[in-house]
C-alpha cells in the first residue's frame, strides 16, 4: 500500500467513510489497483453503494480487464469520488488505447478536480485523430481553463459545426469563453494572478472586490471564511454602481430574490440607485436582480435565471467559489468559501472568549438602511471601471450558464 492508504483505512475503520475518501484526494493517482479496489469495496459497504461495490469486486477479481477498470472509474465518478476514478481510467486507457469512452471519462474525472492541464495532456496523447465532438471541444475548454488562450482559440477555430445539436450549447459556451478571454487579455495581464480577468473570461461576471488577505499566501484575491459587514455590503453596491455606469447599463427596477439577505440587500440597492422595488420575475427585461448569495436561493428559481431576459442584470454580493451556484451572476462583489452575513448568526471574540451572536431580527427595511448609511469598507478600485468599460461589448450576453472551475487562478481551500 502507498503511504496515504493506511491513514485512509484508519479513518474508515473509525466510521468516517467520507473523510477516508477525501484523505486520498491528492494521493490517489499512483494507488495500485488491487489496493484501490479493496479500499473502495470497504467504502461501498460502509455507505451502502451497491453499484460501486459490484464494480470494485470486479476490479479486484481482474485488474487487467479494461472493462473492469472503466466500470470502476465510472462508478467512482457517479458517487462523487473522481480522484479514485483516475488510476482505474488511466489503466483502462493503457489496456484499450482505442476505446474513446475511457478517455472521455478520464477527462471528466480530471475536470472535476480542476486538473485541466492534466486533461489536456491526456487528450493530446490520443493517437487516432481526436474527433471534434467531444474531443476537440474538450481540448479547447481545458486548454482555456489551464490558461492557454492561444491554443483554445486555435482548436476552436478548427472545430467543425457539431452534427448533433445536443452539442450546440457547449459550442456556444466555449466560444463565448474564448471571446471573453481575448477581451480580458486586451484589458489586463490575464495571467495566473489576474482573478478579475479570468472570472470574466470563464463566467462572464465582473468581479468588484479583490481580497487583500492572504493574497501572497495562496488566496489570490478570493476569501476563505468571510465575516461580512455592512461596510462591505456598501462597497459591493458602490462597485455595482460603477459597473452599471461603465457599461452603460440602466436598469429600471430592482428585483430582490426572496431569501431574507437578498431582500435586505435589494432594498438597499434600490435606495442607492433610486429605483423602485418590484416582485422577482425571471422573464422581466431591463431589471436588476439582487442576490446576497445565490446558494441561498431556491434551485428552481436559480435555474429560471439562466436564460437571460433582454437588458436584465443579475448582481450577487457574496458568491461561493468552492460550491458555485447553478447560475452565474453578471456582477459579483466578493468570492468566498464560507460567509456570515452582517445580520446573520455569527461568532465574535470578546475578552479572548469566542461567543455566538444570534441573528439580528430587525425589520429588513432597517437593516437595508444600515447598509445604505455605512461607509464603504475599502477605497474604490480604479481598475474596475476601466476593465468593465473595456469588456462591455461582451458583458451580459447569452445565457448565464454555471461554471464549476476556478480556472488558472488557484486559491487555497479549507474544509
CATH of the domain at 18: 1.25.40.10
Q: What is the pLDDT of residue 195?
A: 98
Q: What is the pLDDT of residue 4?
A: 85
Residue 415 reports pLDDT greater than 70: no
Could you tell me if residue 411 is inside a domain? no
Look at the chain and report how many structural domains it folds into.
Answer: 2
Q: What is the pLDDT of residue 183?
A: 98
State which of 134, 156, 179 marks the end of a domain.
Answer: 179
298 vs 352: which has the higher pLDDT: 298
1 vs 225: which has the higher pLDDT: 225
Q: What distance in Å separates the CA atoms of residue 268 and residue 286, rounded to the nearest whole number?
A: 19
Q: What is the pLDDT of residue 222?
A: 96
Q: What is the pLDDT of residue 336?
A: 96
Q: What is the pLDDT of residue 293?
A: 98
Instruction: List pLDDT tens digits, range 42-58.
Output: 999 999 999 999 999 99
Could you tell me if residue 403 is inside a domain? no
Task: Express as a percent the part of the chain with pLDDT over 90.
Answer: 90
- Could you list the residue range(s) of the whole structural domain that residue 372 is in? 191-394
Give 2's pLDDT tier (boundaries 50, 70, 90): low
Identify whether residues 205 and 164 lie together within a single domain: no
Could you tell me if residue 408 is inside a domain? no
Residue 3 reports pLDDT greater than 80: no
Could you tell me if residue 184 is inside a domain? no
Q: What distance in Å separates the CA atoms of residue 403 and residue 50, rounded to the nearest whole number?
A: 31
Instruction: List pLDDT tens digits, range 259-297.
Output: 999 999 999 999 999 999 999 999 999 999 999 999 999
Identify whether residues 198 and 145 lie together within a single domain: no
Contact between residue 103 and residue 93 where contact means Cβ atoms under 8 Å apart:
yes
Residue 350 reports pLDDT greater than 80: no
Could you tell me if residue 409 is inside a domain? no
Q: Pick from 64, 78, 60, 74: which is nearest to 103 by CA?
A: 74
Q: Please calculate the CA angle 303-404-80 and round it to the nearest 5 degrees.
A: 100
Identify whether residues 100 and 203 lie together within a single domain: no
Mean pLDDT check: name the lowest of 5-9, 351-355, 408-412: 351-355
Read off the pLDDT of each residue in 386-406 and give the average, rounded to a whole number.
96
3-state per-residue secondary structure call for the chain: CCCHHHHHHHHHHCCCHHHHHHCCCCCCCCCCHHHHHHHHHHHHHHHCCHHHHHHHHHHHHCCCCHHHHHHHHHHHHHCCCHHHHHHHHHHHHHHCCCCHHHHHHHHHHHHHCCCHHHHHHHHHCCCCCCCHHHHHHHHHHHHHHCCCHHHHHHHHHHCCCCCCHHHHHHHHHHHHHHHHHHHHHHHCCCCCCCHHHHHHHHHCCEECCCCCCCHHHCCCCCCCEEECCHHHHHHHHHHHHHHHHHHCCCCCCEEECCCHHHHHHHHHHHHHHCCCECCCCCCCCCCEEEECCHHHCCHHHHHHCCCCCCCCEEEEEEEECCCCCCCCCCEEEEEECEEECCCCCEEEEECCEEEEECCCCCCHHHHHHHHHHCCCCCCCCCHHHHHHHHHHHHCCCCCCCCCCCCCCCCCCCCC
Instruction: List pLDDT tens digits, range 154-171.
Output: 999 999 988 899 999 999
Identify whether residues 247 and 390 lie together within a single domain: yes
Read off the pLDDT of each residue in 114-142 and give the average, rounded to a whole number.
95
Residue 1 reports pLDDT greater than 50: no
Residue 347 reports pLDDT greater than 50: yes
Q: Pick from 318, 332, 211: which is nearest to 259 by CA?
A: 318
Residue 354 reports pLDDT greater than 80: no
Contact between residue 339 and residue 228 where contact means Cβ atoms under 8 Å apart:
yes
Residue 59 reports pLDDT greater than 50: yes
The pLDDT mean for the chain works out to 95
CATH of the domain at 240: 3.40.50.2020
Q: What is the pLDDT of residue 179?
A: 98
Could you tell me if residue 186 is inside a domain? no
Mean pLDDT check: name the lowest of 23-32, 321-330, 351-360: 351-360
Q: What is the pLDDT of residue 349?
A: 72
Give 351's pLDDT tier (boundaries 50, 70, 90): confident
Identify whether residues 113 and 256 lie together within a single domain: no
Identify whether residues 243 and 288 lie together within a single domain: yes
Amino acid at each position: 500500500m502507498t503511504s496515504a492508504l493506511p491513514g485512509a483505512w484508519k479513518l474508515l475503520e473509525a466510521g468516517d467513510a467520507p473523510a477516508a475518501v477525501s484523505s486520498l484526494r491528492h494521493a490517489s493517482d499512483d494507488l495500485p489497483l488491487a489496493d484501490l479496489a479493496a479500499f473502495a469495496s470497504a467504502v461501498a459497504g460502509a455507505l451502502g453503494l451497491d453499484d460501486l461495490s459490484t464494480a470494485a469486486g470486479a476490479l479486484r477479481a481482474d485488474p487487467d480487464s479494461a472493462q473492469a477498470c472503466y466500470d470502476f472509474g465510472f462508478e467512482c465518478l457517479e458517487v462523487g469520488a473522481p480522484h479514485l476514478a483516475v488510476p482505474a481510467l488511466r489503466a483502462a486507457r493503457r489496456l484499450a488505447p482505442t476505446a474513446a469512452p475511457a478517455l472521455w471519462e478520464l477527462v471528466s474525472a480530471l475536470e472535476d478536480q480542476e486538473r485541466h492541464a492534466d486533461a489536456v495532456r491526456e487528450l493530446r496523447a490520443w493517437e487516432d485523430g481526436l474527433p471534434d465532438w467531444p474531443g476537440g471541444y474538450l481540448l479547447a475548454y481545458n486548454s482555456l481553463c489551464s490558461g492557454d488562450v492561444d491554443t483554445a482559440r486555435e482548436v476552436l477555430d478548427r472545430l467543425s459545426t457539431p452534427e448533433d445539436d445536443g452539442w450546440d450549447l457547449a459550442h456556444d459556451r466555449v466560444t463565448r469563453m474564448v471571446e471573453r478571454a481575448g477581451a480580458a487579455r486586451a484589458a489586463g495581464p490575464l495571467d495566473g494572478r489576474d482573478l478579475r480577468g479570468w472570472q470574466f473570461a470563464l463566467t462572464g461576471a465582473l468581479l468588484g472586490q479583490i481580497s487583500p488577505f492572504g493574497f501572497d499566501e495562496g488566496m489570490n484575491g478570493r476569501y476563505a471564511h468571510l465575516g461580512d459587514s455592512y461596510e462591505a455590503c456598501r462597497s459591493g453596491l458602490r462597485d455595482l454602481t460603477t459597473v452599471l455606469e461603465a457599461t452603460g447599463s440602466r436598469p429600471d427596477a430592482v428585483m430582490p430574490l426572496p431569501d431574507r439577505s437578498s431582500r435586505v440587500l435589494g432594498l438597499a440597492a434600490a435606495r442607492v440607485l433610486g429605483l423602485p422595488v418590484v416582485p422577482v420575475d425571471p422573464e422581466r427585461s431591463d431589471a436588476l436582480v439582487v442576490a446576497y448569495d445565490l446558494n441561498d436561493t431556491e434551485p428552481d428559481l436559480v435555474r429560471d435565471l439562466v436564460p437571460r431576459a433582454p437588458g436584465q442584470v443579475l448582481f450577487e454580493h457574496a458568491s461561493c467559489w468552492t460550491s458555485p451556484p447553478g447560475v452565474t451572476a453578471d456582477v459579483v462583489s466578493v468570492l468566498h468559501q464560507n460567509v456570515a452575513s452582517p445580520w446573520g448568526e455569527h461568532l465574535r471574540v470578546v475578552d479572548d472568549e469566542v461567543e455566538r451572536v444570534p441573528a439580528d431580527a430587525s425589520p429588513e427595511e432597517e437593516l437595508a438602511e444600515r447598509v445604505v448609511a455605512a461607509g464603504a469598507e475599502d477605497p474604490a478600485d480604479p481598475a474596475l471601471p476601466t476593465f468593465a468599460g473595456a469588456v462591455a461589448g461582451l458583458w451580459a450576453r447569452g445565457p448565464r450558464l454555471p461554471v464549476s472551475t476556478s480556472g488558472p487562478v488557484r486559491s487555497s481551500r479549507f474544509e
